[in-house]
Structure 1
Amino acid sequence: MARYTGPDCRLCRREGQKLYLKGDKCFTDKCPVSKRNYAPGQHGQSRKKLTEYGLQLREKQKVRRYYGIQESQMLKYFNMADKMKGITGENLLKILESRLDNVVYRMGFAASRDEARQLVTHGHFIVNGKKVDIPSMLIKVGDEIEVKAKSKNSPRFKELVENHRGTTVKWVDVNPEDLKGKVVAEPSREDIDLPIEEHLIVELYSK
């Protein structure tokens, strides 16, 4: 399945809530979800009640769009989570939180996960001293992430230092002035700020 290239805000409206795909815009009055809190399209305002399958599908799609991953990746992560000890749904969310692009975003080195994915792909980050350009790389406890020396002087990263919004999770330790950070613990379910009913996703994939 090809990656979605349309307006990000349309995805938020489809799910009926903010997925914070546009960075700072999501926290302003310009956010389309605040203005038009109904699904896009001709029949967006006359949405019918969802079936059980529909609820499960929407929850899966919401998480996919939140983390910016494709269906094949989602299924791979679910299979990984299902083989791990513990609750499958929580394991799935922990895996998604451990993606490099998400960790970069959580550290405040990008305004959105989409920007974080782009910056990683363009080779602006170093993990444990080695250049990495794979956004889906899974980060472990103890891994250190740093902006490449040549990139630190770019206008974008200078702006990030000046306007660093701080980290929203406790499992990363960040030095915004040096544009480096370290994963100090495993992601916690409580740190995921989007209302997600992960059990619906488990039910969907378990059929």
Structure 2
Amino acid sequence: MRISRIGVAAIASLGLLLGACSSVEPGSAGSIPSKSVPAGDSRAPTGSTNSDVPANGSAPPVHDPVDASAATADACGVLTPAQLDALGLTEGTPRQSAAGPSCYWDFAAEDANRIDFAIVEGNSNGLSDIYDQRAEYAYFEETEVGGHPAVYASEADHRDSGVCWMYVGLNDSVAMAVGSQFLAGPDQSDPCPVVARAAESMIETLKG
């Protein structure tokens, strides 16, 4: 299996480089690991909370797949104006990141805080390619969002500093990455629930 190797540059292009006022080292917010894990390697990193991860690294199948082409064509369109209002986000800023088509949204109440999104184009096996690299992550915690398999994972664990990353299987070939940067406010110490809410809204939009 050929697994895309996207390092810290992917996070830089996603806009999660943290400023000097943050205690998090710039560029270390999290990324798809730069090293892959051979198929069959069942090692799990410190922070994994699920002992039932398949030995071959494969992610759970996506039983209700969605077409990711709309997100590829318009990354910022994964959140509607009504969803932006509900999440407290401003209009998105599109970009082409090292991971793939991307967008970020600042929070209206504090523009130092943001949500990032990208379609992970380089991994042709979707969420399974993330699973196959799980030994490279500082944390790897399985979850589910909007009926889709997902995992909280990052090469560095800065969740207590406002940075959380989640990967969600949109279908068995495509995964999306959703991340946070909180430099201020109550969500800085527990950002992952906010990331999950944003990801669920994105799935709702893509399902139409």
Report the TM-score, using the length of structure 2 for normalisation.
Answer: 0.26
Which gives a bigger RCO, structure 1 or 2 (Cα 8 Å, sep 6+)? Answer: 2
In proportion to residue count, which structure has more helix? 1
- When Rg is computed on C-alpha atoms for both structures, the one with the higher figure is 1
Instruction: State TM-score, norm by structure 1.
Output: 0.26
